[in-house]
């Protein structure tokens, strides 16, 4: 089975490729760096020849609503047309829990438009709605940074490890198309401000986390449960503390020789 991973060199895509190859599948990462441009369609016909499955985890270079909409509509249309012509049997897309509830956000409207295109197309599909990634918590906080303060809305979150998202996508991709969407999330709920504090502390980041009811999520106003999955979500096993401990261990394990690396902090290694 030949499986194409669009955005296969990014955070989630690279993990998907590794997991599929470890399981014995022919997984091919595709991105602009490899000569594939879904915005123009360049390289898609040759790439999709003899492919059975396409997994799309690509994202626009910016979260600006208008640009994100252009990206998802153009890229998804080109991809689905090329898949239909090549006889691809399963299209798998990664999306976000709460997309339909967060229409005030331009980025979420763009993701919703992408999903509509997928559902209206003839290629059988599966859509995986994921909660926020552990790896992206500091980026989420960064969106609301005001000087030395990080403003976070008073909401509950149920984040998931990137490895677990990749496992879910891999498992779904080699199964029968769902022709519907599923939700995946981590095993624990947190208050967003609590999680932001723990993440920043692990990075030795001195910014202060402030709970602000006016703070927004990708430009959308949210209530306490806006970002939570439904009761039938598929839950991963990795707990936040276990992931965080492993991340810090990996950071120090990959440092240069101890005498040269003494004093470097986890954030110096991207943790």
Q: Name the percent of the chain lying above pLDDT 70.
A: 89
192 vs 57, higher pLDDT? 57
Give residue-wise pLDDT tens across range 61-116.
888 899 999 999 999 999 999 999 999 999 999 999 999 999 999 999 999 999 99
pTM assigned to the model: 0.88
- b (16+ CB within 10 A) / e for 105-136: bbbbbbbbbbbebbeebebebbbbbbbbbbbe
- The overall average pLDDT reported for the chain is 89
Among the ranges given (134-138, 164-168, 215-219), the one the predictor scored with the smallest mean pLDDT: 134-138
How many other C-beta atoms lie within 10 A of the C-beta of residue 213? 11
d(CA 86, CA 237): 37
Give residue-wise pLDDT tens across range 186-231.
999 999 889 888 878 877 888 888 899 988 888 888 999 999 999 9
């Amino acid at each position: 089975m030949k499986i194409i991973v669009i955005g296969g060199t990014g955070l989630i895509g690279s993990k998907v490729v590794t997991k599929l190859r470890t399981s014995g599948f022919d997984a091919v990462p595709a991105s602009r760096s490899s000569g594939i441009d879904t915005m123009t369609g360049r390289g898609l016909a040759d790439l999709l020849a003899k492919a059975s499955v396409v997994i799309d985890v690509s994202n626009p270079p910016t979260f600006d609503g208008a640009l994100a909409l252009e990206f998802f509509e153009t890229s998804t249309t080109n991809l689905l047309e090329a898949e239909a012509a090549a006889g691809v049997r399963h299209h798998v897309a990664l999306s976000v829990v709460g997309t339909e509830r967060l229409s005030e956000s331009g980025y979420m409207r763009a993701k919703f438009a992408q999903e509509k295109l997928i559902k209206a197309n003839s290629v059988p599909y599966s859509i995986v709605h994921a909660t926020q990634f552990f790896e992206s918590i500091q980026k989420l906080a960064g969106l609301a940074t005001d000087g030395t303060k990080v403003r976070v809305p008073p909401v509950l979150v149920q984040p998931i490890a990137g490895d677990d998202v990749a496992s879910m996508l891999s498992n779904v991709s080699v199964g029968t198309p769902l022709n519907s969407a599923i939700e995946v999330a981590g095993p624990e709920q947190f208050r967003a401000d609590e999680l932001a504090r723990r993440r920043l502390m692990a990075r030795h980041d001195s910014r202060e986390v402030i709970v602000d009811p006016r703070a927004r999520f990708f430009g959308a106003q949210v209530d306490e449960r806006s970002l939570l999955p439904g009761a039938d979500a598929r839950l991963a096993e990795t707990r936040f503390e276990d992931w965080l401990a492993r991340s810090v261990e990996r950071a120090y394990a990959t440092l240069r020789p101890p005498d040269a690396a003494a004093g470097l902090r986890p954030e110096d290694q991207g943790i």
